[in-house]
Structure 1
């Protein structure tokens, strides 16, 4: 029996990156079976470019394909939830772009549905993958870094009128949020991936750069479960674009590559506090096996998990942690109060963080 998994990509925007970086680089693991898009020109262009035979504008057509293993959802955020739930109900494996869904209530419903489903769900957090972030992860997991102290996380990007000319962007009901949901969510996931979950957050959001409904500037002070402190800052009004994490541990300070869209890649700055720590790091990383960045590694690990039944590289629980940060930001900014974890069904924004009347 072949281990090659068949894939349908839904949405040809970021979906093209999934194809180019994730599936074509793993041709021995995946076969592109179908493309689904509401724009006929984009759909046919992608299908012609990559030799994809099946083309449809109807998502339900994919659910009925008995020879389809994976549905990869790359649509605007407001339709993620119904598509994920329908795909799981149809017995498909699911890949879904961020944000996975639009509330903590929805992500909890997805987690419950997964437990009953034949297929498995992998949300997308491709910035976790690359030599830089994976070497930092290995050093931390080996106990070499020691106690986490502080961190700064910066998402300083640039978005202007042409970006918001796409009709669903910049609106609460369709994008479900602004820089928190669509841009900084990656870097905030990287923080929890490396330093662990949050305990509390005091944050502010503002719309200062573009004439849009949702926020494009944010800042927060957070405490992690470990006791470490961190600051989170993001804007879409920077002159240039960088993503930067600087993580200070007892024995090692890490700083990410500043490239905006692949901060997990090398080179990361790794600064040991002393020669003994440096020797431990050198020994750990000797013979390091290259970790390709972004979608290439995430999709390869997804395939391995499907074949072996082992753990997924990114889970719905990871998405829940990311969406807790989003929920806390909006509530804290609105109420001028600190939000503490966990955020459960009794929280005012559990069902939705959208402002009243949005």
Structure 2
């Protein structure tokens, strides 16, 4: 019989989606045995709804559970770092929502801690999963797409006062950033996942939609290592919510679905330049096996990695690359300069990208 990993959910907000989409679709692989949340009413409701016997408001209780294999962190971003470090020290496997942590310094410390822990850490980038994005990935990796030319990533979402009424949202020290961190981070990761890593970025950020500390509109021009060009645009003031990736390669053009929160799902438009390329793509995808979307796909892939000892479906290296994009965006916007990758300990944003004014307030 296959091993079943025992899981604790920390945070009953997005944690609900981790359960309903992820773990309940893999009950032969995972069992949620504990839940933790500071809100006792929400904690009780969550535990009752999903039949979870153990519930606690103290994160440290989870660390002491000898039969607990995985701690799945779905808390506000400002506490991710301390919880990840504590869970790794306790030799637990860790799943953690985006953004993983709040600086490049912290992600480097997390990566160092992961090397000495018996546990493994998987950041959440669920948009990588689904038939659309995985078909595109397979075509690109098979060499059929050819040289990448240009791509666009658009996040046109809507978030208003009700969304920001939640006390930790819209603030530098608890959300760690705005649309770059909480919303567009997924689609920016997907462009790099499909087209390759960035070489340099020029970005602008603005706060135009809501009365908040952090940004809610961004735009950037990106040069990728391949020589391809990409543009990133996001706003939280759209009347119609869509997400879209559009990529032109030498032999194929790809356009994602426009579903704002299920971008990896079909239908994706895959347009070959000529019939010959089209026949090769059809042959490549002839025996396609459906890829579960979003959390279902990533959680299932986590199981395979834990069982085989193989690479995690999303790694801390991937998370660092996403945070480098965020840091580059902020630095470029503040200095009106191109930012070159990679960003190391000598970069001005390495320890924090939070503006000095807000760091002084917290200090």
> Is the aligned partner of 1:28 residue 2:34?
no
Matched position secondary structure for 1:357: helix
Is 1:238 matched up with 2:238? yes
Q: Alignment partner of 1:324: what SS?
A: helix
Root-mean-square deviation (CA, aligned residues, Å) is 0.6
CA drift at 1:175: 0.3
The reply on whether 1:226 has 2:231 as its aligned counterpart is no
Tell me, which stretches of 5 or more residues in structure 2 are unaligned?
Answer: 359-363
Q: Aligned ranges for residues 111-190 of structure 1 at < 5 Å?
A: 111-190=111-190
1-side partners of 2:2 and 2:258: how far apart?
Answer: 40
The SS at the match of 1:343 is coil
Q: Distance in 2 between matches of 1:348 and 1:13?
A: 34
Which residue of structure 2 aligns with residue 10 of structure 1? 10
Q: Distance in 1 between matches of 2:167 and 2:355?
A: 20
8 Å contact kept, 2:242–2:258: yes
Aligned to 1:70: 70
The answer on 1:325 being equivalent to 2:325 is yes
Q: What is the distance in 2 between the residues matched to 1:351 and 1:156?
A: 30
Task: Name the SS of the counterpart of 1:283 in structure 2.
Answer: helix
CA shift at 1:178, angstroms?
0.3
Q: CA deviation at 1:2?
A: 5.2
**Alignment partner of 1:37 is 2:37:** yes
Please state whether the residue corresponding to 1:353 is helix, strand or coil. Answer: coil
Cα shift readout 1:52-76 (whole Å, capped 9, x = no counterpart)? 0000000000000000000000000
Listed one character per residue, the Cα deviations across residues 28-83 of structure 1 (whole Å, up to 9, x for unaligned) are 00011100000011111010000000000000000000000000000000000000
Matched residue of 1:27: which SS?
A: coil
Report the CA distance between 1:357 and its aligned residue.
Answer: 2.3
Give matches, 1:327-346, under 5 Å. Answer: 327-346=327-346
Q: Which residue of 2 aligns with 1:307?
A: 307
TM-score, with structure 2 as normaliser? 0.98
Give how far 1:287 is off.
1.6
2:243 and 2:260 in contact (8 A); partners too? yes
1:79-94 matched pairs, under 5 angstroms: 79-94=79-94
After superposing on structure 2, the runs of 4+ consecutive aligned residues of structure 1 that deviate more than 6 Å are none
Deviation at 1:219, TM superposition (A): 0.2
Compute the TM-score of the two structures, normalised by the length of structure 1: 0.99
Structure 1 unaligned segments of length 5 or more: list them.
none
Partner of 2:202: helix, strand, or coil? strand
For residues 330-357 of structure 1, the C-alpha deviation after alignment (integer angstroms, 9 at most, x for no partner) is 0000000000011000000000000002
Give the paired residue count: 358
User: Following the alignment from structure 2 to structure 1, what is the Cα–Cα distance between the partners of residues 342 and 121?
Assistant: 23
| Deviations, residues 156-182 of structure 1 (Å, cap 9, x unaligned) | 000000000000000001000000000
Q: Deviations over 1:192-218 (max 9, x none)?
A: 100110000000000000000000000
